[in-house]
Amino acid sequence: MAISTNSIIHYTAESKALLGILRQKGFIFSYCSEKLKTREKKSYTAAIAMVSFCDIPISDYKKHFFNKKNTKDLGYYGDYGIGLSKNWASRKGLNPVIYIDHNSHASHSFRKTYEDSLDEDKRIKNIDISSSILYVKNYEGELKRKGDVVSKKYRFYDEREWRLVPKTTEIGNNAPVIDDGEYQKNRVYFNTQIEKFFLSFDFEDISYIIVKETSEVKEIYNEMEQIFNKNISDLHLITVLTSEQIVGDF
């Protein structure tokens, strides 16, 4: 069994979101609050513009699906998804997240890099120099869902996240990272500023698509026929799986 996949997968909770990704042939950037805990009991929280994916074999991902009785199941990211090839990921500049233990020497080094990169207003002075900081995540830590802490010690490492943080010029000269306090006061405003910029893909980049129920498979093929102007034989080069199948058969 493969430890990692030949594709990276973006999961979402709703069919509407998956159809939106297909229709615009791309992923909208949005800000995500990220907390990094380091040595000396210090922690830093910032809102980072990104699109994120995971690199988990489908057979291992079924524990993340939503079709369970407990709607706060840890690691839930949705029953819908789209897999893109790693060749596409490489061309677009995505990178696996760098996981660090909060008490490690590495965490100390990243903390120093972060502090040295801040100006007097505690904003990053040069995002190109400091961009590696935006790809760092704790090995494990506190997991929140809709503002609620659902786990004090969630292992983020198990998600095998890949991420793209855009350059300033790729999101209309908006900041790729902003103070989390500012972001929480006006989340809609900041995300609206970058919602017209997205990470694009072509039909040939798609590895497979995941929907929740069998009844949705035909709709996906019909949508792709219109979006990509492909015939049936071309469309069926892309496998459409259901989360029901994955839970039952993998």
pLDDT in tens, 85-137: 999 999 999 999 999 998 898 887 877 777 777 666 666 665 655 577 889 99
* pLDDT tens figures, 54-99: 998 877 766 655 545 444 445 567 889 999 999 999 999 999 999 9
Q: Are the C-beta atoms of residues 82 and 210 closer than 8 Å to each other? A: yes
Task: For the full predicted model, state whether its pTM sits above 0.85.
Answer: yes
The residues, any chain, with a CB within 8 Å of residue 74's CB and separated by 6 or more, are 143, 150, 151, 154
The single residue listed with the structure tokens 């809709």 is 146
d(CA 193, CA 29): 10
First to last CA, the chain: 11
Cα distances (angstroms) measured from residue 26 to each of 50, 185, 196, 199, 227? 13, 28, 11, 5, 12
d(CA 163, CA 96): 6
Q: Report residue 200 as tokens.
A: 């694009």
* Residue 44 per-residue DSSP state: E
Q: Report residue 213 as tokens.
A: 């129920």
* pLDDT tens figures, 205-237: 999 999 999 999 999 999 999 999 999 889 989
